[in-house]
Amino acid sequence: MTTDPPTPATPSPAGASGTSNAAWRVEKDSMGEVRVPAQALWAAQTQRAVENFHFGGITMPAAFVDALLHIKAAAALANEKLGLLEPSLARAIADSADALLADAQRMAHFPVEVFQTGSGTSSNMNANEVLATLAARRLGRAVSANDHVNFGQSSNDTIPSAIHVAAALQLERELLPALAHLARVLENRAPELQRHVKTGRTHLMDAMPVRFDQVLGGWRAQVQQALSALVLLQPAVATLAQGGTAVGTGVNTHPEFASTLCALLQQRTGVHFQAAAERFSLMGAQDTAVQLSGQLKATAVALMKIANDLRWMNSGPLAGLAEIELPALQPGSSIMPGKVNPVIPEAVAMVGAQVIGNDAAITIAGQSGNFELNVMLPLVARNLLESLQLLAAAARALADRAIAGFAVNEASLRAALARNPVLVTALNPLVGYLKAAEIAKAAYKQGRPIIDVADEMTDLGRDRLQDLLDPARLTEGGL
């Protein structure tokens, strides 16, 4: 026994008008007739995808759909410029795309799941059909999803291009500004914390002292390195496969279509897109997406390192390191009153884990290029765009809700430094490694400050020892 799929809730975007009282209408494609919900803007091929792909209901990301709509608008206008589409038809398609982009409810019209045909053909046809419906309503006559909206295009070049457009926009508008903001917060906070000296740690064991501004400087360098590496990838991400059509040869499209489309995309988005000189690699492979994902993974690792340092320094407040106190954002326990947890660093660490997992999937997807087409494009789109979005949010949260507001526990820092036997390292050039080790072991065993034990076991004198063992001086390096 079969049941009809439910009628989707499809609020009409700007430019859409008219509905049917019937629950269903009949649409036709090359395979025959199919029933489509009466109010749906899509047609037969989208409906087939809705009925075929049921893998958890995860639909294509909004950023991807938006990129696809930008491409469809630019394609229509490019074909108009090249004399291949009549102006009224091209304008109707472009205006319909812009109306959708302005509609907060637009994703209701894009129901195709991520786990679909590997080329993303279902998503491409979803956009073509929705735009054909809306353009037809504007013109008062039929508009073809294939012959008009998809003119000069193939799913095989359009979907890889949409991945690049969406990633380029998220990189330019979200992640790079977020990382730059995090770097600025670290840079601005460092001078304020320069006077605070803490116990350094290697292997999670006490080591020589460091200043807080040095710690933040290290974090900032990590963020800046990630930022610089991502900037270097921007030109490749903004290079599009569009114009390659079915297999990369450009059959059935104008030789100037791709360059004209890229110029129009730049006008629409403010990002400089360029047509690839060689399109076979951008269609048969996803190397740029794999490279970008790899750098996103490296960025995630950097943020996880910072987040975990904050968690350790915040640990306590009595039985942990208790070097800092992160802003108290929410109660930390449903059973232990007064407990407050480092929720932002924990969330950032989980983002990092997700991005690393996304990269593993993209790596597998990237090698799934069979001859002239990669067949895991929707998965690449979903994971890449999620990683970009998550890292941008994580960088801002770490900057604004953790680093900008943590307080330093100076009393705890001083107490730990006074007991730190590793300070004796400063005496190595004067008394030798073995004698210094003897002093350190005695201080640790007796639970006494290193300066008191060194005063008894050497003839350096108290005043000189105070200078030699001054934690702040030891952060400057040198003999």
Active site residue ranges? 203, 333
Handedness of CA 93, 98, 99, 103 (dihedral sign): positive
Closest CA to 152 of 46, 264, 258, 69: 258
End-to-end alpha carbon distance in the chain: 85
Q: What is the C-alpha separation between 378 and 49, in angstroms, rounded?
A: 13
Sequence-distant (≥ 6) Cβ neighbours of residue 22 within 8 angstroms: 38
With both helix axes pointing from N to C terminus, report the angle between 377-398 and 155-170 in degrees, rounded to the nearest 10. Answer: 0
Task: Let me know: does 130 contact 28? Beta carbons within 8 Å.
Answer: no
Strands, E assignment, 415-471: none
Tokens read off for 196: 């605070």
Residues in the chain: 479
Helix, coil or strand: residue 43 = coil
**What is the full DSSP assignment across 8-30?**
P--PPPTT-----SSSEEEEEET
Task: Let me know: does 476 contact 457? Beta carbons within 8 Å.
Answer: no
Tokens read off for 217: 């400087």
Closest CA to 426 of 462, 475, 457, 468: 468
Task: Let me know: does 409 contact 192? Beta carbons within 8 Å.
Answer: no
Closest CA to 158 of 265, 235, 81: 265
Element containing residue 274 per DSSP (H, E): strand 274-275
Q: What is the C-alpha separation between 73 and 104, in angstroms, rounded?
A: 18
Half-sphere exposure of 257 (CA within 13 A, CB side): 28
Residue 368 to residues 243, 363, 432: CA-CA distances in angstroms?
22, 9, 60
Q: What is the C-alpha separation between 343 and 445, in angstroms, rounded?
A: 37
Angle at CA 98, nearest 5°, toward 96 and 101?
A: 115
